[in-house]
Amino acid sequence: MGTGNYVVDHIPPATPCNRRPAHPMLQPTTITVHNTGNPTSTARNERDWLTNPSNNRTASYHIVIDEHQAIECIPLSENSWHAGDGSMPASGNRTSISIEICESGNYAQTLDHAAELIAKLLAERGWGIDRLRRHFDWSGKICPRLMYDKGKWTGWLQFKQQIASKLTQLASGGETMTKEEKALLDSLKTTVTHLADRVVYLETKQRMNIPAWAQSAVDAAVGAGLIHKPEEGSEDFYRLLTVIHRKGLI
């Protein structure tokens, strides 16, 4: 999801029902994932619901995301009321960044956007997927409900893997190698290995028990990557190597 699709639209501190309590959360420890529980609502709908006069609930969330955009509703440096586990210092409400995933529209696309966003949040903080939580982990509520799968949480496990894949892409610069690029990289690695062997050989050949008359043949064979332990050769081996070298075969 491009940065242009991330909208900061914070609800006012004076929003009714204490939905933005403004408790500092300067060092959150986890990211908590939710589903909105509304199959027709968009991210904009959810953001507007937080300031809707008819809303009499305290519940709130940091970011809500759909197939088109993500909206930051409460600063990530403040807490939101999302975990259902009270207001103690170690509660999810006071320590976790909350992400609401909309259920409307192209849900697969929404999940992809959410995975990308969460991966960026993890990467920015130096975190791994072990920092991910479900609403369920805090209060036992079946949420994110679309990942529940009759208690097996198959969707949750798949979503975590999706995030892990995005996190890996971010760590590698966001690029995936083609087959041709991988083949070239493998070739370069082989070349580097041969060069390393050559350097070691040049540094240690003075200590090797190699006849002087065979030295040029051994040098050529090591340079071509044909032998890696020339010091272990017998005199007959050196003679054969010298004959081959003189014939121009190495």
User: Secondary structure of 98-162 in the HEC alphabet?
Assistant: EEEECCCCCHHHHHHHHHHHHHHHHHHHCCCHHHEEEHHHHHCCCCCHHHCCCCCCHHHHHHHHH
- pLDDT, position 219: 83
Question: What is the residue-wise DSSP string for 43-89?
Answer: HHHHHHHHT-TT-------SEEE-SS-EEE-S-TTB--S-SSS-S-T
Q: For the segment 151-167, what is each residue's pLDDT rounded down to a tens digit? A: 999 999 999 999 999 99
Report the percent of the chain where pLDDT is more than 70. Answer: 87
Residue bearing tokens 């809500």:
64
Within 10 angstroms of residue 15's Cβ, the number of other Cβ atoms is 17
Which amino acid does the sequence have at 140? Answer: G
Write the CA distances from 118 to 17, 92, 168, 180, integer angstroms.
Answer: 28, 17, 13, 31
Domain boundaries, the chain: 3-171, 179-246
- pLDDT, position 204: 57
* Of residues 207 and 71, more confidently modeled: 71
Report yes or no: 20 and 82 within 8 Å, Cβ to Cβ. Answer: no
What does the block give as tokens for 170? 């971010």
Q: How many helices (H) and strands (E) does the chain have?
A: 8, 6
| Structural fold of domain 3-171 | Lysozyme-like (3.40.80)
HSE toward the beta carbon, residue 96, CA cutoff 13 A: 30
Task: For residue 231, give the nearest of 202, 194, 196, 191 by alpha carbon.
Answer: 202
Residue bearing tokens 């008819």:
54
* Of residues 228 and 240, more confidently modeled: 240
Q: How confident is the model at residue 49 (pLDDT cuts 50, 70, 90)?
A: very high
- pLDDT, position 67: 96
Report yes or no: 85 and 143 within 8 Å, Cβ to Cβ. Answer: no
Q: For the segment 97-120, what is each residue's pLDDT rounded down to a tens digit? A: 999 999 999 999 999 999 999 999
What are 176-181's contacts with CB under 8 Å, separation 24+? none
pLDDT surpasses 70 at 199 = no
Report yes or no: 94 and 78 within 8 Å, Cβ to Cβ. Answer: no
How far apart are alpha carbons 84 and 237 in whole angstroms? 78
